[in-house]
Amino acid sequence: MSALESENIPHMKPMILDTPIILDEAQQRSVAAWGVKTAMVSDSMKGRNAPNRFYEKAECVALRESRTIPELTRIWIGRVDEFNHLWDAGTDVSLMGSDGTRTGTASVHSFVAGHFVIQIVSGHRMAGYEGNIQIPCKIGDWDSMLIPIWPVQEPTVSWPPKVSFTNGGPLGIAYLQDRWRLGGIVKMVTKDGVVE
């Protein structure tokens, strides 16, 4: 994974130092892979045998060996107006269908390095559930504050976005961390169920 770190220095360093940059498709894929790798490292800090580890071993191996990003993953980048650092341990989210049945789980990780912001959301379907899963978020001006980089939607994207996060207030970076918290709080969410 050190190759992934080195590969990203030329296009992540300008964002960390607050220099505008254009990312092509390959650079978007590279930054996205770095984001997922960082989320997987954060997830692994729960412990090797923790029942609430989100990323499966096969997903971690696929990222390491072929840079395959897990299927139900979306990634955005943004900017914070003041130099900052944030290592988000992650938020696990239970996903529900319109009929109230559990359709899957998701894990959300947000990281800040300097002025660079990245948010990774990965989902897993419940065993036996074959339908689409929806990962809803709170209503907000996300299109002005975040640039989608995975799945790649545009051949090039320009960073920074129109609106930046701040260290506090209504556009505070905590607003980004809270983006996916829609329901009540449970003690632990696992792939098989909720542990009280």
Q: pLDDT confidence of 71, banded at 50, 70, 90?
A: very high
Q: Name residue 40's amino acid.
A: M
Domain ranges in the chain are: 2-195
Average pLDDT, the chain: 88
Q: pLDDT confidence of 95, banded at 50, 70, 90?
A: confident
Is the whole-model pTM more than 0.75? yes
Give the Cα separation of 124 and 126 in Å (integer): 6
Could you tell me if 103 and 81 are in contact, meaning their C-beta atoms sit under 8 angstroms apart?
no
Could you tell me if 129 and 107 are in contact, meaning their C-beta atoms sit under 8 angstroms apart?
no
Give the Cα separation of 71 and 107 in Å (integer): 13
**pLDDT reported for residue 42:** 92
